[in-house]
Structure 1
Amino acid sequence: MSEAPASKRPPRQSRTGTTSTGARKAGSKSARSRAREFTLQALYQHLVGGNDASSIDLFTRDLSGFHKADAAHYDALLHGCITTAQFMDELITPQLDRKLAEISPIEHAVMWIGVYEFQHCPDVPWRVVINECIELAKEFGGTDGHKYVNGVLNGLAPQLRAAEVEADKAAGKAS
């Protein structure tokens, strides 16, 4: 049996929101992903410049594209991370192989976002938290910063999302 000529085949279904390789297109980010990006930029200002949350918030909301972000998620992340920074650093530090001061402010802020979402956003699956943080670190961080973020957050997941991680292990979904 011969194959139908190309002109008779149904057209390929295009996958909206992805490139030909399956990667997510820049314009197809979810509102929550965008909120994480704006939060990362805001936390960077806090870590590097020592700016307070209110002035950072006003500045960030005026940035191009903010209207496409989930403003409620951004608010929760920004204010939650800054408010609980010391506690989150106490959780992160035992996972590090160097002093916290030696960690890039981008990777530091990404880890804050991950820890905060582990603790306060149970509607976001733990593996999604890690994947989103890896993507942030790849896009904004140093060359291998995403690997470091991955290691730290994977180390914290069993502690901060114990039941969810165990359920995934039992189902063969987590290592």
Structure 2
Amino acid sequence: MINRRHIRVKVMQSVYAMQQSQSDNIVKEEKFLKNSIQKMYDLYVLNLQLVVEVQKLANKKIALSKKKMLATKEELNPNTKFIDNKLINLLNESVSLEGYTELNQLNFWELDNEYVNIILDELQKSDLYKKYMSTVEDSYHIDKAFVIEFFREIIAPNEKLADYFEDKMISWVDDIPFVNTWIIKSLNKQKPQNPFILGGLYKDSEDKQFASNLFTKTVLHQHKYQDDIIEKTPNWEADRIADIDMIIIKMAITEFLHFPSIPSRVTINEYIELAKDYSTNKSGYFINGVLDKLAKDYLASDKMVKIGRGLL
């Protein structure tokens, strides 16, 4: 499921896109934000489905090899360890995975099956595959460990696949690392006796509402923050502050003033990390200093009110 750090990333990107397009249609832009987050779920499902399609292709090739006129002994009696993999079979039998794929018309691997071929070819050439296929032990534990490493070593770092996803949706570039981690966690948690069921996109309704509220409150109130930011950056002209840094600071102020249940220190730490990942090398230090000063002032003037113990 999506966590609050990545929700903040998506909101930051949406605020930035809204500013760059000079749009003032907040309803339209909020809808775009929600769609962008929902598309992460599509990416998650597509990667899981890719694992299944690779197994299906391997099975198809085995069946074709058996029908060859001069089939070898090995082709007539193939090693079926991969196509019998217990975890992949749970994915293949998953009603929720198949249902979501069909409902949202995620037939990518039918239309672009060359990527299934690319992944299968790379897998079968790998030491990981050769070691797994020669393993005598037949257990769910062995199968699961293999699938996780298959995804981690073969699918996740594949550059052709990453380029393909980027062509399909530009925002997936930033989502891929998060989705990859999400998939590995999902595979790790899967039990052999349970059917595979897709989890929710959000942890709860509060997180879902957090995304909308953070975006709308930042956009609606950001003009009010300008004087406070200028006061805390006396050595900087406003137009010298990087666009992303300014958005990050305004989002953090929004959390200070409009999200009483989020500790101010949590807000500061989260936006420092965002600055490190998405802005300049020195942005983390700059934003830390600005937000620390703002938090102290808001607290002293009672503008910032946090509910509960230890929330400052």
Alignment of 1:116-127 (within 5 A): 116-127=254-265
Match in the other structure for 1:13: none
Match in the other structure for 2:142: none
The structure whose RCO (Cα within 8 Å, separation 6+) is larger is 2
Structure 1, 54-63 or 108-117: larger mean CA deviation:
54-63
Opposite residue 140 of structure 1, the aligned amino acid is: Y
SS in 2 for 1:51: coil
Between Structure 1 and Structure 2, how many residues are aligned?
A: 138
**Structure 2 residue 213 is the aligned partner of structure 1 residue 76:** yes
Opposite residue 222 of structure 2, the aligned amino acid is: A
1:91-118 superposed Cα distances (whole Å, 9 cap, x missing partner): 1111112111221111111001110111
**Identical residues among aligned pairs (%):** 24
1:51-94 superposed Cα distances (whole Å, 9 cap, x missing partner): 23222222222223274483211111111111111111121111
Match in the other structure for 1:159: 297
Residue 149 of structure 1 is aligned with which of 287, 303, 308? Answer: 287
Match in the other structure for 1:107: 245
Match in the other structure for 2:48: none
Unaligned runs of 5+ in 1: 1-26, 166-170
Residue 12 of structure 2 is aligned with which of 40, 62, 68? Answer: 40
TM-score by length of 1: 0.70
Match in the other structure for 2:85: none
Match in the other structure for 2:225: 88
The structure 1 segments of at least 4 consecutive aligned residues displaced by more than 6 Å after TM superposition are none
1:114-162 superposed Cα distances (whole Å, 9 cap, x missing partner): 1011111121111111000101111111111111111110110111133
Partners of 1:102 and 1:49 in 2: CA distance: 20
Partners of 2:283 and 2:21 in 1: CA distance: 21
Contact 1:137 / 1:145 at 8 angstroms: preserved in 2? yes
Partners of 2:219 and 2:231 in 1: CA distance: 20
TM-score by length of 2: 0.41
Match in the other structure for 2:143: none
